[in-house]
A and B are shown apart, each in its own frame.
Chain A
């Protein structure tokens, strides 16, 4: 069974600084997809960024980028130029190419300070 581990329950970053959130996963499959979701206090899970395992190039979405290390099964999220609106719970998620199930980590709570 696949598992997703987020080892940082809480992180803090100053506004305009850069922060990296860690995620590791365990799978025996070679074809899969990885996602980072953000859940602000409004509770809605919002997709931040996604990565296809077959792509070597790291995904980037504006201030958000990932460091995907397939051999190490690591998928970290880097947030550059942090903004107050980035404060939220961040969840890493895994999905096999062969089924619909999303497996989530336990989340990292990100605080952004002035």
Chain B
């Protein structure tokens, strides 16, 4: 299934760089999510957008800045990251009409901070 597409697949950046992760969903969903997946830790929800409005921010450092210009696109802008930010960043989308609707995930961006 290619309903949720993330680019780039891999990203290596220095701590002073600015980069952006992109997510696009082709499923007609109205909610999108950013998750961080680190080794041996549960997936951590970072941001939730519903109808293009940010509805949840789980105490994520300001060096991560999300943007949702429309219901199909979600960005994660990165600035002055730290080595502990190296992880797999997963985007997901869902249709918010009831809680039993599953989230559909992309393949993730593997981020390495030098």
On whether the two chains bind one another, the answer is yes
Q: Does B28 contact A (CB under 8 A)?
A: no
B58 smallest CB distance to A (angstroms): 8
> Could you tell me if A44 and B43 are in contact, using CB atoms closer than 8 angstroms?
no
| Interface presence of B60 (CB below 8 A) | no
- How many Cβ-Cβ contacts under 8 Å join chain A to chain B? 56
Task: List residues 19-53 of chain B with CB under 8 A from any CB of chain A.
Answer: 31, 33, 40-43, 45, 48, 50
Q: Is the CB of A104 within 8 A of B50?
A: no
- Asked if A42 meets B104 with Cβ closer than 8 Å, knowing A104-B43, A105-B42, A106-B40, the reply is no
Interface centre among B96, B99, B110 (most CB of A within 10 A): B99
Chain B positions 93 through 114: 1 when the CB is less than 8 Å from some CB of chain A, otherwise 0: 0101001101111111010000
Contact A50 B100 (CB under 8 A): yes
Given B42, B43, B99, which contacts A33 in the complex, CB threshold below 8 Å?
B99
Contact B42 A103 (CB under 8 A): yes
CB pairs A–B below 8 angstroms (24 shown): A33-B99, A33-B100, A35-B102, A42-B107, A43-B88, A43-B108, A43-B110, A44-B1, A45-B105, A46-B1, A47-B104, A50-B100, A52-B100, A91-B43, A95-B99, A97-B99, A100-B31, A100-B33, A100-B48, A100-B56, A101-B48, A104-B42, A104-B43, A107-B42
A11 at the interface (CB under 8 A from B): no
